[in-house]
Amino acid sequence: MLGPVSSCRACGAGLSVTMADLGLQPPSNAFLASAADAAAEKRYPLRARVCESCKLVQLDYDVAPEELFGNYVYFSSYSDEWLAHARAYCEMARRRFALGEESLVVELASNDGYLLRNFLGMGIPVLGIDPSGTVAAAAEKIGVGTLVEFFGERLARGLAAAGRRADLIIGNNVLAHVPQLNDFIAGVSALLKDSGTVTIEFPHLLTLIGQVAFDTIYHEHYSYFSLYAIEQVFARHGLAVYDVEELSTHGGSLRIFASHSRRAGLEESAALHALRAKEAAAGLADLATYAQFARRVEECRTSLLAFFAGAARDGKRVAAYGAAAKGNTLLNFCGVTRTQLCMVADRNPHKQGKLLPGTHIPVVSPEELMSRRPDYVLILPWNLEQEIRRQLADISAWGGRFVTPVPVARIVP
C-alpha cells in the first residue's frame, strides 16, 4: 500500500479538481471465496483527480501493485483479436523502422511473448521485460528472452551501460499500471537509441469522457491519458511525440510514436496536429471539462438507483451479466445490494461460486441465471452489449428485458 497522492505524479502541481469520486472500494478483481472472507476485505479511496497544470488524470490514492496484481495472471495469447492486432503492428514496425538482425526491440510488460515472437520470426533480436515470473517462463519457452523485473530508470541504465539500447521500445497498455510514471519514462529515455522510436498504446481519455465510462476507473489504473498530458510527460524526459494513430481497441485507444527531442530531422505528422486540435476542441486542456464530467457521473448513479427503486416497486427480479472489473466499480459506487441485484452471471468458471468484491453479490453460471427467469438483465460490460444480448436472447421467452447502466440507465427491449 502506497497511500495518498497529494500532488501530480507527472509534474508535481496540485490535484484540487475531482473528475470522479467513486468512494471507498476494494480492488476490482478481489473476488471473495465466501461470505466469511468479507470481514477481512480491504477498501481504498477510488477517486480520479486532474492536475491543475498538465491535466493528467490520476488516482489520488495508490494501492501497491503487489496487492492488485499479486495473484493476477493474464495470458495475452488467449485473445485471437489481440494476436492479430500484434501481428499487424510488428509487420508495420519492421517496414517503417527498417528493423533487421542488427536491431533490438524491447517490449515493456511483454507478458507471455505473444507480440515479440513475431519479430523473432523475422530474425530481429528481442528482449521482453515483465515483472511476472509466470508469464515470463511461458515467454522463454517460445524463445522470447525475458527479464523478470519492474521497468524503471535503474534497470534501463543498466541495460544501456551493457550496450543493449533499443531501436524500438514497445509499451502496450502498461503506462496506466505504473504508479511511478516519471521513473518509467526516464527509463524509456535512457534505453532508447538516439535514432530509435518508442510506441505506446493506451485507452484514450477522450473516449472515457465521451462515453462517461467512469466504470473503467479502477485502482489498477493509476493514470488516464490524453495526448495533451502525455506529450508533457514525455517532454520532461527529452522525448517528443511525432505521430499518433487512433485505434479501436478498448473502445478507443491511441498509439503514439516518440523519439528523442534531439533527433535530427524529426517531423510532426498531420495526424498529430489533427488530434491535438480534436482534444483542444473537446476541452481537455480546461479544468471545467473534468468538473462537468464529475456531475455526469453523479447523474448516472441517480439514474441507476431510480431504475432499481422502480423494479423493487413493481416486484421485478433483477440479475446482471458480466462479472468484470468495470461492473464492480459501478456497483460499489452506487452501493447496490443483493436485495436490488440477486446475482451476476459470468461464463468464467473461476468466478462462478464466488462473491463480487464489495457488494458480495453471488456469481453464477449463465445457465443458472436463465433458470431463475429474471425480469431484467443488467449488462455490466456494456461495451459487449450486442454480443451479450445475442447470448441471452432467450430471456424474451418470459418477457425479460435488458438494461445498460452507462451513460444513463436505459431499458432496451
DSSP secondary structure of 311-347? HHHTT--EEEE---HHHHHHHHHHT--TTT---EE-S
Q: Which residues bind Zn ion (CB under 5 A)?
A: 8, 10-11, 13, 51, 53-54, 56
**The C-alpha cell that represents 33 in the structure block:** 471465496
Shortest reach from residue 287's CB to Zn ion, in Å: 12
**From the CB of 181, what's the least distance to Zn ion, in Å?**
10
State the DSSP code for 294.
H
Task: For Zn ion, give the closer residue by CB, 49 or 354.
Answer: 49
Strands (DSSP E) along 109-181, which ranges?
126-129, 146-147, 166-172
CA 396 – CA 401 distance, rounded (Å): 7
Whose cell is 499487424? That residue is 88
Q: Nearest Cα to 328, choosing from 377, 404, 252, 381?
A: 381
Using DSSP's 3-state secondary structure scheme, residue 171 falls into: strand
Q: Any residues with CB less than 8 A from the CB of 183 and at least 6 apart, and which? A: 152, 153
Q: How far is the CB of 207 from Zn ion (least distance, A)?
A: 21
Closest-CA residue to 326 (of 208, 214, 408, 226): 214
Nearer to Zn ion, 56 or 155 (CB): 56
Q: Return the closest-CA partner of residue 103 out of 90, 85, 121, 119.
A: 119
Closest separation in Å from C-beta 16 to Zn ion: 12
> Measured from the CB atom, is 286 or 387 closer to Zn ion?
286
Task: Specify the residue, 202 or 307, whose C-beta has the smaller distance to Zn ion.
Answer: 202
- Closest distance of CB 286 from Zn ion, Å: 15
- In angstroms, what is the minimal distance from the CB of 53 to Zn ion? 5
Quote the CA–CA distance of 259 and 199 in Å, as a whole number: 9
**Which one, 124 or 181, has the nearer CB to Zn ion?**
181
Residue 58 near residue 48, CB atoms below 8 Å: yes
- Shortest distance, CB of residue 8 to Zn ion, whole angstroms? 3
Chain centroid, CA 238 distance in Å: 26
Q: Which is nearer to Zn ion, 8 or 341 (CB)?
A: 8
Q: Which CB sits closer to Zn ion, 53 or 261?
A: 53
